[in-house]
Each structure stands twice: as C-alpha cells, then as structure tokens.
Structure 1
C-alpha cells in the first residue's frame, strides 16, 4: 500500500507540475517587449533563443497568443531579467550605481546596457565580499585610495608601483601584465574580460572602456578586453588614477571629454606611459606621414602605438580627426584578427578575475569557510566540483 501511495503521489505531482507549465502566465505583456529590447538582442536571434518563430514572438508581445509559465520563464532567462519583472505594471528604473563619466557629443550616456548593469552588479558583489573578507582578517584600509592631488599623482604612482618612466625592454603587453601584477600587489583588484560569461553578451567598447569602483578596503579597476589590445594599457592607468584621486566612475576613453575627472585621468595616463619631455624630443614633425613616427617610438618607450598616438594628440602633434581615423583603423584590425591558440577555461578565468580576489575566494571555499555555491557565483560560474582544479591553476 505504501508503494502504491508513493506512485500515486508521484503521478499527482507530475500532473500539477505539467499544469503549472502549460497554464497561461498572467504577465504584463508590455514587459515582454521591454525585456527583449533591454537585452539588446535582435528579434530574429531572440526568437531563435526561445525556440519559436518571429511571428509567435511578435504575437506574444502584442497579446495575440498566450504565453505559458514555462515559456515566460525561458523568455526571462534569455532576456537576462528576473522572472518576476514580467509581472510588473511598468519597467523598473535602472540606474548605474557609480558615476557615469562617459560622453557622447558632450552629454552623458543615459541608458546603460543590460551587460553593463549586470557587470557592475557582479563587481559590487565581489567588492562587498572581499571587503568583509579583509576586515575579518584584520586588514587595514587601503592607503592608495584618494591618496594625492593631481600634481603629484604620476610621480607617486611610479614610486608605489616601483617602475621607471617607461620599460627599458620587452613588448607593451609584457608591461601590461607586469603593471597588473604590481597594481594587485598594492591591494587594488584588477578585473578584465570581454563578455559577460558568454560571447552572446559582449561588453561593447562603444559603450565603455573601463571603470573604477573606489572602496577603502577593496578598490576595483575594470578593463574592457573587448577593446583593441593596445588600448588596454591606457585604460588600466586611467582607471588606476581614479583610485588615486578617490573617485569612482565609468569611462569611455573619449579624448574630447570636458569632464574634469576624465581630463585629469587621461592626462595622468598619458604622462605615466609616455613622459612629455622625452616624447617631444623624439617626435619628428617633418615626416610625410605622422604615423611613421610610431615604430621608432614604440621601440623606445615599449608601449603600444595606441598609447603613443594618444600622447601625440594630447600634445597637439596630431589633430583629433587624425587620431580618430587611426584608432578606428586599429579597432577594425583588431576585430578582423583571428587569435591563434585558445586558452583553457581555467586560464581564461585566471586572466579575467583578480588573482588576489580569486585566491581568497577559492581558499575560503576549500577550507569550508565559504559555501561552494557562493564561491561559484563570485567566480563567474566556476563549478563547485572544479574548484580544486582552479586552485591548481592559481598556484594554491
């Protein structure tokens, strides 16, 4: 009899489960259109993700066809919004939690993408966890946040990082990796990636190049790796300057900005990477093409031609139009270039997430001080059963 009761209970629950997912979802259909448009995914691709035709998708959004609970839940998942949002009477007001310093035609960008909003939310979660972790281990506040006024920043940054005016040897990407490690050694978490967990959610350079989130214990700088390789070095120092002056903000790298913080951080990054006096002594104004200066300067300063072109612009050696054309060409070349050799999953994670942060999370998880599920979320989806493998990649 007990076995029969168990079978009947199972069948009853199965029927209820099926009815739940076949029942019409009494959602606000206007929220369907809002969620899809918020995702930034074109309608044909969104329909394919939901496994339906464009016609059915359109019929859902205008209320001509009912949508079931199961379909609505899948719709929300593909749009990257909480399922409960579909029941709201009107879209929630979504604002950036840190200052928006980007500029488009002299004005701020008012509508951030879902990827940018979700990315900053993830960074704030990581920052909150790491701040608590440091306090539990009796760490002192970071002494580099809001450290100095503008006049002394470049010299102080070089002193604290232990670097000279520029590298004496090596390639610029070696310098980028070295600076990242030195910045992390100061307790500043460096995060960098080019998508939000999957290539279908790219971080668009047109929207932002980087941001900084100031905190007394766990300051973060983020570099958008969807950007051309040479641009990342400039962004790294630009965002570090934000930490030094103690001001959070999202940046788009606009050389034409009039925002005070951005003008300052641009100037600091330019002087840090390419000192004005030395650069000016090497620049040849009589060349037929200004770009012919770049190979020699690259060999001397060991920084990217992108950074060199930016320096030439700040010194008025080239015009804004010349700079803009050159950067557009570099960006196009980067997008066309196919990279050889795909890094492993764990190598990618190691490169994307601050190693200081990753080591703290993994160590706490493996010691039982942090739930594996929470560690997985903080690390952007590293599965609990793969935590030990990631620990080996990190050298723990």
Structure 2
C-alpha cells in the first residue's frame, strides 16, 4: 500500500481556489475520475499518496512543501495593484499574474546588480515628474528623452518597434509575453491586466501583456512609460475608472500618441466613428484602437461605443491564426533585447554559468549561442 502524505487539508482547498479551479476541474487535472476523492482530501477524511500530493502541487503551481504548512502563506503582490472595478480595487490575482511578476522581478534584480557592477549611474528621467505636472509636459519629455518624433510615414507597427528600441536605448527593459515562461497552457488574461511597470532609477522595467490585441499594446507601452516618468510602479488594466495616477498615465499616453489639439481639429462629428478613426490613425500612424481610445478620453464617444469597438477589434485579433513564430524571436521579446544582450555577454565571457544564463532567459543552456545569433546580439 502506498504511503499517505500527511498534508494539511486546508492547504489543498487554498491551493485549488488560488489556482481558480473548481473541484471538478481539479479532479480532472489530477486524473481522478471521482470528485469525491478531492472532497475527502479537503475535508481531511482521507489523505493522498505522496505521488498524488506531488500532482496536487504541480496542478496548482505551488512548492510541494506548502502542502504541509499549518496555515496558507500570506501572498502579497511585490508591486502596487492599480487595477479597479468601478471605484473599488480588484482583490483577485491569478497564479499566472503572480508568477509573471515574480519572473520579471527576478530578471530585473539580476540586471540591476549587473548595472551596479559595471558602474552605471541612475537614470534622471525616472520619477522626474508627478501627477501635479501637466499631461502635455510629461508627454513631451518622454518624446524628447526617447528621441522619437511624431511619425511622418510607416505603419503603427513600425512606430511601435521604433519606440521599443528607443526605450531600450534609454536603458528601459521592455518585456512582452502572453504566457508564463514557455508554458503555452498558462496564458495571461488581458481581462486581468494589460501591463505593469517597475519604477527603478537604475533598472526600470515595462511588461506588456501580449494576449492583448497588437493594436492596443502601443497604448500600453506609453502608459507604462508614463508610470516610470512619475516614479510609480504598479499593475495596470487601463480601464476608465482608476486611481489618480492611472488616469494621469492614460492621459499622457493619449497626448503622446494623438495630441488633443490635433485630434479635435481632425474629428468630424458628422461622419461615422470608423471614418474618423481611419483618417486620424492614418495621420498619426497609430492603430484604429488607439484612436478610438483617444476619442473616448476626449469625450468624442461614450464608454459603450468605445467598449463595443474594442471588443470587435479583439474578436478580429482572436480569429487570426498564429503559427507561434520563431522561438528565439518570441523569447527575445519576452526577455527584452537589452536584458538578453547583457546575460549573453556575461555567459560568453564566463562571468556567469551557461546554466544560470539559461535560467534567466528561459532557454536551454546549449541553445544560448543560437539564441544570440538569431537576435544578432
């Protein structure tokens, strides 16, 4: 008879609920035909075997040792949660969101120590402004620091690439992913968050949730840059009812991408939303979704109209089939080219082990040279 694992039933319930699983889904994930077995484990009337306990830990993404704790551990996000529903803060946080924040912070802390070792100085633009400054001044300062003028040609995709490159040239790590690590089954839900910023004068980081429509990510990029300029870390959902700094960062992003004065000059209330959006997006080389967001912020359309437009764009995005792309290019976006370059250089020089470099980059140690070659590092 297999040895029973004397785990705490309370922890099983906590782990299941934390992972957002019903008892039925939990049983299915564990390969158990009868949900009553899960009910018994949570009630403490029976115990799982050690093999089953390991499956419980794996299914809920917790360390195996947690199952033997007396009480569930207290978990707090390491950065402020600025997401709201109405005027109330959102309390629920998925395991995926917690884990991606931890992964990004792990990389950020390594990079910060690396910068200290090579003698880099603090960045003067981080925390240069507050929400008491004007939206226009902050937007203009971001543009000046990045050295990217309003585009005169090219697509919004070209503009976004240019801005990301400029941000990394200013020593801002820009990381993008729609999953946790390399696990395609652990998707990041855009309904939960669209991005976050880690405001640090030495090693600032922006993370963009790639599960969002590509057309919406440009707005998220500038929104998170605004967070850095006011020295504010936090998780954002970019909704319409937020804390003061969220409203401010939304306004900065809007002013940066589509200046209000020019927007009002171009907006024609006598034509359809689509006609307005197409004309303005063409002028500023941003997506239709960014223009629709700007129209809402400038009170040209109401919240229902904007929400309907956004949902249509998201449906169109989901209908498009993706091959998944080249693994190395995807990993490059997830890690940021700037971070990747530093880690690869340290590994190739022998200052860190290939094993440690692989852990930081989320790739196999023997694939690092190929990864560097693909990204032209």
Cα offset for 1:44? Answer: 4.5
- Counterpart of 1:275 (choices 250, 254, 259) is 259
Structure-2 change in CA distance of 1:46 and 1:345 (3 Å): farther
The answer to whether the aligner puts 1:176 opposite 2:160 as a matched pair is yes
Show structure 2 runs of 5+ residues with no match. none
1:328 aligns with 2:325: no
- Return 5+ residue gaps in structure 1 as ranges: 1-18
Most deviating of 381-390 and 145-154: 145-154
Please give the alpha-carbon distance, in whole angstroms, between the structure 2 residues aligned to 1:58 and 1:369.
51
Alpha-carbon RMSD across the aligned residues, in angstroms, is 1.7
TM-score between the two structures when normalised by the length of structure 1: 0.89
> How many angstroms does 1:94 deviate by?
1.1
Determine if contact 2:346/2:352 at 8 Å carries over to the other structure. Answer: yes
TM-score (norm 2): 0.94
1:112 corresponding residue in structure 2: 93
Tell me the secondary structure at the aligned position of residue 151 of structure 2: coil
* Secondary structure, counterpart of 2:184 in structure 1: coil
Check whether the contact 1:154–1:268 (CA below 8 A) recurs between aligned residues.
yes
Q: Tell me by how many angstroms 1:395 deviates.
A: 1.6
In structure 2, the residue matched to 1:352 is: 334
Cα shift at 1:42: 4.8
The residue aligned with 1:208 is 193
Residue aligned with 1:155, SS: helix
Tell me the CA shift for residue 301 of structure 1. Answer: 1.2
Q: Tell whether the 8 Å contact from 2:7 to 2:47 is kept in structure 1 after alignment.
A: no
2:134 aligned with 1:134, yes or no? no
Q: Contact conserved, 2:85 with 2:241, CA < 8 A, in 1? A: no
Confirm or deny: 8 A CA contact 1:228 1:334 kept in the other structure. Answer: yes
Do the aligned residues in 1 keep the contact of 2:178 with 2:188 (CA within 8 Å)?
yes
* Moved >6 Å (runs of 4+): none
CA distance in 2, matches of 1:71, 1:169: 59
**Contact 1:350-1:393 within 8 A present in 2 as well:** no
CA distance in 2: counterparts of 1:281 and 1:376, whole angstroms: 52
In structure 1, what is the Cα distance between the partners aligned to 2:24 and 2:331?
A: 31
Aligned counterpart, 1:247: 232
CA contact (8 A) 1:43 1:54 kept: no
Aligned residues: 371
Matches within 5 A, 1:46-195: 46-55=26-35, 56-149=37-130, 150-151=133-134, 152-164=137-149, 166-195=150-179
- Give, in whole Å, the separation in 1 of the partners of 2:345 and 2:41: 47
**Per-residue deviation at 1:45?**
4.5
1:292 is aligned, of 275, 297, 302, to 275
* Shift, 1:366, TM fit: 2.5
Q: What is the rounded CA distance, in whole Å, between the counterparts of 2:311 and 2:176 in structure 1?
A: 22
Q: 1:54 to 1:233 in 2, by over 3 A?
A: farther
Matched residue of 2:261: which SS?
Answer: helix
